[in-house]
Amino acid sequence: MSPARDLIGCHVSTAGGLHQAPARADELGASVMQIFTANQRTWKAPALSDEQVSAFREALDASSVSVVMSHDSYLINLANPTEEMRARSMAAFLAEYERCTRLGIPLLNFHPGAHLGEGEERAIALVADGMKRTLDALPDSGTMLVVEATAGQGTNLGHRLEHLAAILEAVSAPERTGVCIDTQHVFAAGYDLKSERGYLAFFKQLDQLVGLDRLVGFHVNDSKTALASRVDRHEELGKGELGKTALARLARDKRFFKVPMFLETPDDERYAAEIKLLRKWRSTKE
């Protein structure tokens, strides 16, 4: 992988094979990329062949992409209280971790899951247990498990920083675990990133509860829904309830220049333009 000028990119399609993604990222001007390593709507994925792994790694080495993050299947719920569905989630999660390990992908991002009425305390313990079992299964893996902050729809965990802190503390593997902050999610969860005061307060609390050193990725999205709506709906940059000023503040924050930023906005045909927009905001003084 070639050295990148920054750590700004987006989610990239793997249509036609995983090896197609790095060239697509280059075309978009992305220096980092997020991908699905398998169909996110199915429980089981075909095993990766040695040829597929080699093709992906070679394509990545030939590209300008410096960081890759995988997003696991939306079907997976490590907090599921029912034994059968939790076992299915664990199997799919471990398979994803194995794919990332083989492909040399350093970050595996996932939503912590939903407690389905059984309560947050038990759910946090279940998620942490699933993470520990996964890490123990591949002790030499270079892939980090990354817990994503959520908007808090339904019974989903992760909409409070206390949830993320409790999960990481229970796993007790700081070198192999981290967090990803989705700007839309935390805004919808009730953290006021829009105001400067709210922005500063949020990252102060993140530092106190989790540690800024545990922050390994951002999903940069505007929000279709209002502050504290608890609804997960992404919007194009500068066109939503968060708005340009708030997102530009994040882009310019020097504390996070070494933290990868991945766009997940709704129109992937605008990714190239939005990557340029983020870079413009980063280079423009207030």
- Annotated catalytic residue within 61, 74, 133, 267: 74
Taking the C-alpha atoms of residue 114 and residue 158, their distance in angstroms, rounded to an integer, is: 9
- Annotated catalytic residue within 182, 235, 241, 274: 182
Domain 8-283 bears CATH identifier 3.20.20.150: yes
* Amino acid 3: pLDDT: 42
For the question of residue 11 being annotated catalytic, the response is no
Per domain, the residue ranges of the chain are 8-283
* Amino acid 40: pLDDT: 86
For the question of residue 74 being annotated catalytic, the response is yes
Taking the C-alpha atoms of residue 56 and residue 17, their distance in angstroms, rounded to an integer, is: 8
- Annotated catalytic residue within 24, 99, 111, 163: 111
For the question of residue 148 being annotated catalytic, the response is yes
For the question of residue 264 being annotated catalytic, the response is yes
Query: Which residues of the chain have a pLDDT value below 50?
Result: 1-3
* Amino acid 1: pLDDT: 43
For the question of residue 271 being annotated catalytic, the response is no
- Annotated catalytic residue within 6, 96, 148, 222: 148
Q: What is the pLDDT of residues 169-191, one digit of tens each?
A: 999 999 999 999 999 999 999 99
For the question of residue 111 being annotated catalytic, the response is yes
- Annotated catalytic residue within 232, 235, 241, 274: 232
Contacts of 15 (CB under 8 A, 6+ apart): none
For the question of residue 61 being annotated catalytic, the response is no
- Annotated catalytic residue within 72, 102, 234, 241: 234
- Annotated catalytic residue within 176, 264, 268, 282: 264
- Annotated catalytic residue within 185, 191, 214, 222: 185
